């Protein structure tokens, strides 16, 4: 992933071989906690949705690097931190997402008594605040979630925002987006509190 500060991205990944990644309600809640720990220090979340075999995040990147050794890094510029001979350790947003997925995988492998990869090797991040043409990367059919790479469609922030929230509806899992517990749709409808989304900034940047 090539994440840049101040841009909005659609970040997503899917179960390896389309396998399930969430097996019970506790798994969804656990993953939400991981997002809070490993994503929020770097970005504002505008929308999210966790589906049985994949997840979507819409984020505005605020920081690319963060110190994980606050004491040695205090007061240093980024260039100084990078040349501090290891005294100051920096973690990139990319690294943090990787840690999120690896740590979640370890927990699920232990729970399900399985081994190996849980997610696809590469997590995707599509910038949606540049003038680019691309498709929704996932679409849902009666046969499950399919990756779409041919049919072109312009995907602006509002379209991506709606697309993420409509995932459970398109998959036939619920009738309304707000019926699905594991997305930010309920928060925007003021039906629940949400520990992840920044609604004030979302209103500013995408006018939900």
> Which pTM was predicted?
0.80
Mean pLDDT of the 5-32 span:
96
pLDDT tens, position by position, 115-147:
999 999 999 999 988 654 444 454 454 444 444
pLDDT at 152: 37
**Ordered domains of the chain (ranges, CATH):** 8-65+99-206 (3.30.70)
pLDDT tens, position by position, 142-181:
444 444 433 333 347 888 999 999 999 999 999 999 999 9
Mapping DSSP onto H, E and C, the string for the chain reads CCCCCCCEEEEEEEEHHHCCCCCCHHHHHHHHHHHHHHCCCCEEEEEEEEECCEEEEEEEECCCEEECCHHHHCCCCHHHHHCCCCCCCEEEHHHHHHHHHHHHHHHHHHHHCCCCCCECCCCEEEECCCCCECCCCEEEECCEEEECCCCCCECCHHHHHHHHHHHHHHCCCCCCHHHCCCECHHHHCCCCCCCCECHHHHHHHHCC
């Amino acid at each position: 992933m090539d994440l840049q500060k101040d841009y909005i991205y659609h970040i997503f990944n899917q179960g390896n071989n389309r396998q399930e990644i969430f097996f019970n309600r506790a798994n969804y809640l656990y993953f939400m906690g991981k997002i809070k720990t490993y994503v929020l220090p770097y970005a504002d979340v505008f929308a999210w949705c966790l589906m049985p075999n994949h997840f979507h995040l819409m984020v505005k990147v605020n920081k690319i690097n963060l110190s994980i050794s606050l004491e040695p890094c205090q007061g240093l510029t980024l260039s100084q931190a990078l040349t501090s001979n290891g005294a100051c350790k920096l973690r990139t947003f990319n690294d943090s997402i990787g840690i999120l997925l690896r740590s979640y995988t370890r927990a699920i492998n232990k729970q399900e008594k399985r081994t190996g990869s849980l997610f696809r090797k590469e997590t995707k991040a599509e910038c949606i605040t540049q003038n680019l043409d691309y498709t929704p990367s996932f679409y849902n059919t009666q046969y499950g979630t399919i990756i779409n790479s041919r049919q072109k469609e312009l995907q602006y922030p509002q379209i991506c925002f709606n697309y993420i929230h409509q995932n459970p509806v398109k998959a036939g899992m619920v009738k309304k987006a707000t019926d699905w517990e594991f997305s930010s749709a309920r928060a925007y409808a003021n039906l629940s509190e949400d520990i992840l989304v920044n609604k004030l900034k979302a209103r500013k940047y995408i006018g939900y």
